[in-house]
Amino acid sequence: MADPRFFTNKGPFTLGDIAERVGAQLAPGTDASRQVDDVAPLDSAQAAHLSFLDNPKYKEAFLSTSAGACVVKPAMADDAPEGVGLLLSEDPYRAFALASQLFYPSEVTGEDTLGDAGEISPGAHVHPTAKIAAGATVEAGAAIGAHVEVGAGTVIGANASIAKGCTIGRNCFIAPNVTISHAHIGDRVILHPGVCIGQDGFGFAMGLPHHEKVPQLGRVIIQDNVEIGANTTVDRGAGPDTVIGEGTKIDNLVQIGHNVQTGRSCVIVSQTGISGSTKLGDFVVLAAQVGVTGHLTINSGAQIAARSAVIHDVPPGQQYGGVPARPVSEWRREIVALKRLGQRRKPGAGKE
């Protein structure tokens, strides 16, 4: 059970209501009026809890679970322990995620961190020309500059800094110690602690007698429903804007260079670095520690394996991996061939 000091549970809910909200079907014999109070993993769930099974690796835990109800694929329904209510879904993990959002909605949207929801703290500095919509929260230590606009329901966390001219939409969560400059941010955006948005791109005209700084005159545009993890940085554009597309999810410790543009619903995982002027199509996935050189196009639906180095454009829908990145099938063949080469016995080996 989630610690109530930190997480607010909105339950209970009936199984019928949950099934309707998550798009699942109740199995025959499951009582739609039965209530559950919380969500929990299979191995710790009790009679008042909802759990799920998606990975066959956890089938044994499912067979012995004490959960009151479980979200499973229809093919697993006959294996359920007696008395467990079943919600049937072809995608149990997604259905369980939606169910969890019912119980803990603030964990999806973010909430105030100091307990001052809907208030502007007297310990915050808000410039007289800033426009803070009714219902927004500005916590102690936050600094909001001239002509900033903050939408209704948005939380500006403790010690966050919003530089002059920035706009932030509705129902956003700007966590403590975030810095934002030269940026326009859409609705329902989550920026976790330490995120830096809109600082200078790394632009210099290199040469003697010294490197000359190139003024970075673009902005950062973050579209709706984006989430950016802790200590990630997104540089503003050099002239064109840096754009983070709608629904994109970025992990902790990612570097986004100037002029980068991502499409919709991209996934960019921890410690990835994307150099300037690279373009990502829709639904691109960059796994952990991927490096992307500048001025490339990674087309829609492409997936890049962890610790790969992308130095050429990637066609749509392709899986690439390795250093340098190439089609995964080719990369795997090379790994196998190299392994076999290393296992070959040297001439005369084993002879006395």
Q: Is-catalytic flag, 184?
A: no
**Do 95 and 193 reside in the same domain of the chain?**
no
Domain ends where: 76, 109, 142?
109
Residue 20 phi/psi, 5-degree rounding, is -65, -40
Question: Residue 151 domain-assigned?
Answer: no
**Do 185 and 283 reside in the same domain of the chain?**
yes
Question: Residue 301 domain-assigned?
Answer: yes
CATH number of the domain bearing residue 47? 3.40.1390.10
Residue pair 139/122 in contact by the 8 Å Cβ criterion: no
Distances from the Cα of 268 to the Cαs of 32, 198, 245, in angstroms? 39, 18, 12
Question: Residue 236 domain-assigned?
Answer: yes
Question: Residue 25 domain-assigned?
Answer: yes
Domain ends where: 109, 126, 158?
109
Residue 351 pLDDT? 56
Q: Which of 184, 192, 258, 312 is catalytic?
A: 258
Q: Provide the CA 9 distance to its chain's centre, in angstroms.
A: 22
Distances from the Cα of 162 to the Cαs of 61, 76, 129, 171, in angstroms? 48, 50, 13, 16
- Angle at the Cα of 178 from the Cα atoms of 176 and 180, rounded to 5 degrees: 145
Q: What residue type is assigned to position 247 of the chain?
A: G
**Do 102 and 229 reside in the same domain of the chain?**
no
Question: Residue 89 domain-assigned?
Answer: yes
Structural domain that includes position 262: 178-352
Conformational region of residue 188, where left means phi above 0, alpha means psi within -120 to 50, and beta covers everything else: left
Residue pair 218/239 in contact by the 8 Å Cβ criterion: yes
Interhelix angle 92-103/15-22, rounded to 10 degrees, is 120
In the 8-state DSSP scheme, what is residue 106?
Answer: H
Question: Residue 162 domain-assigned?
Answer: no
CATH number of the domain bearing residue 262? 2.160.10.10
Residue pair 245/228 in contact by the 8 Å Cβ criterion: no
Query: By three-state DSSP, how is residue 161 classified?
Result: strand
Residue pair 165/148 in contact by the 8 Å Cβ criterion: yes
Instruction: Measure CA of the first residue to CA of the last residue in the chain; give whole Å.
Output: 67
Residue 2 pLDDT? 87
Domain ends where: 109, 124, 140?
109
Into how many domains does the chain fold?
Answer: 2
Residue 116 pLDDT? 86
Which helix H or strand E contains 242, and what residues bound it?
strand 242-244
Residue pair 71/95 in contact by the 8 Å Cβ criterion: yes
Q: Which residue has the tokens 């996935």?
A: 285
Instruction: Tell me the whole-structure pTM to 2 decimals.
Output: 0.92
DSSP conformation letters of 140-167: TT-EE-TT-EE-TT-EE-TT-EE-TT-E
pLDDT mean by block of 10 residues, the chain; 352 residues = 90 97 96 97 96 94 96 94 96 97 93 91 97 97 98 98 98 98 98 98 95 96 98 97 98 98 98 98 98 97 98 98 96 90 70 54
